[in-house]
Chains A and B, each alone.
Chain A
Amino acid sequence: MANQRALPQSKESLLQNYNKRLKDDIRSILDNLTEIIKTAKVEDETQVSRATQAEQDHYEMHVRAANIVRAGESLMKLVSDLKQFLILNDFPSVNEAISLQNQQLRSLQEECDKKLTSLRDEIAIDLYELEEEYYSSSYGQWDSSDLPLCEAYRRWDSWASPDRGATSGSAQGVEEDTDGPASQETTPKHGTITAADKP
């Protein structure tokens, strides 16, 4: 608890220090420029000789100009410190930046996944047609335990609707399904080469 109280106090003192630095630097710039302008005025009566007075004025202006430059550089350092403090401690803007970044990343991810899903669907359709073509040709040899995709869908359709199974069309299809493997295995037809056919 004492540590939690100590942290805000240091932040408070840091911000007060920033305020003080700002006031001091601005005051330094204004005062030194004012004094330079006052010193630039040529006075007829001087306590020392004119050369000495000129030398003194020259040195004073030199020092005040250096003070102005130092105050300007201190202001730049203050601006840099404020930028750093803002980046680290401005929670509203940090939260907004994080939520914006999350939103952009999620939208990119969703777009990527959506495109992959549509690509998958298109490839699945093409694969279905290719399998149907392949397994209905003489090159596709299969047994009942290893069904191609189109055949599996066809059987699933016939199982899913037993009423359709009672009609003539699907009955023929079912008979064809049951007869298909046996006919291919027992009576080789187009595309299969037998020993008699070999040159």
Chain B
Amino acid sequence: MANDRLRALEEVENQVATILQCAGNIVLELSKDKHNASFLDRQLSQFTVSVNRVETELSSQIKYLTQVATGQPHEGSTYSARKDCQMALNRAEYARVKLGELGRTCEVMLDPQP
């Protein structure tokens, strides 16, 4: 859910770049002696679509945040679960080390060096 909203905002950033790109292309085309009308129409329509998208998306995000924001800091954390998991991994590592020592001891006993 959070990733979707963040991805939508990244898409908005791309749209803002598209807006500036289209504006630049329009001004560049107008600077020529002979204008390509179809090119100008395409750029202008793309510019308009991008502007509408940016405005709609950012307005909806701001409206969502107005409904959701409480002004208080979030106090949730994953510390306890992370600590328990880390301890379990430490137990597994300890067992692995001890089994390794046992294996080496068995090898030494079974194949003593002269």
Give the interface of A toward B (CB within 8 A).
Answer: 7-8, 10-12, 15, 18-19, 22, 26, 29-30, 33, 36-37, 40, 61, 65, 68-69, 72, 75-76, 78-79, 82-83, 85-98, 101-102, 105-106, 108-109, 112-113, 115-116, 119
B49 within 8 A of A: no
| Set A11, A79, A116: member contacting B58, Cβ < 8 A | A79
Contact B13 A86 (CB under 8 A): no
Whether the Cβ atoms of B71 and A86 lie closer than 8 Å is: no
Q: Are A69 and B20 in contact (CB under 8 A)?
A: yes
**CB within 8 Å for A85 and B69 given contacts A37-B30, A65-B27, A69-B20:** yes
Please judge, given known A-B contacts A82-B62, A90-B68, whether A112 and B16 are in contact too, CB under 8 Å.
no
Query: Which residues from chain B contact A8 at a C-beta distance below 8 Å?
Result: 70-71
C-alpha spacing A78/B59, complex, angstroms: 12
Would you call A92 and B68 a contact (CB within 8 A)? yes
A105 to B9, Cβ gap below 8 A?
no
Least CB separation from A103: chain B residue:
B81
Cβ contact within 8 Å between A106 and B84: yes
B76 near A94 (CB under 8 angstroms)? yes
Q: Given A10, A88, A96, A102, which contacts B78 in the complex, CB threshold below 8 Å? A: A102
Interface string of B54-82 (1 = CB under 8 A from A): 11001101101110111111101110011
Assess the A112–B2 pair: CB atoms within 8 A. Answer: no
Q: Decide yes or no: A94 and B74 within 8 Å by CB, A22-B58, A22-B62, A105-B81 being known contacts.
A: yes
With a CB–CB cut-off of 8 A, which chain B residues contact A33?
23, 26, 47
- Chain B, residues 21-40, CB within 8 Å of chain A (1/0): the string is 00100110011000000000
CB distance from A145 to the nearest CB of B (A): 27
Closest residue of chain A to B30, judged by CB?
A40
Asked whether A10 lies within 8 Å of B9 as measured between CB atoms, the reply is no
* Nearest CB on B from A69, distance (A): 7
- Cβ of B91 < 8 Å from any Cβ of A? yes
Q: How many residues of B contact A (CB 8 A)?
A: 47
**Which residues of B have CB within 8 Å of A109?**
81, 84-85, 87-88
Docked Cα-Cα span, A83 to B4, in Å, equals: 12
Among candidates B55, B61, B77, B92, residue contacting A116 with C-beta atoms closer than 8 Å: B92
Q: How far is the CB of B8 from chain A (nearest CB, A)?
A: 10
Q: Are A83 and B89 in contact (CB under 8 A)?
A: no
Q: Is the CB of A61 within 8 A of B27?
A: yes
Which of the residues B19, B66, B70, B95 comes within 8 Å of A15, measured between beta carbons?
B66
Q: Given contacts A37-B30, A75-B16, A101-B78, are A11 and B71 in contact (CB under 8 A)?
A: yes
- Shortest Cβ gap from A129 to chain B (Å): 15
Note all chain B residues with C-beta closer than 8 A to A15. 62, 65-66, 69
Q: Bound complex: CA of A68 vs CA of B91, how far in Å?
A: 61
B6 within 8 A of A: yes
Q: With A29-B51, A69-B20, A75-B16 in contact, do A82 and B84 touch (Cβ < 8 Å)? A: no
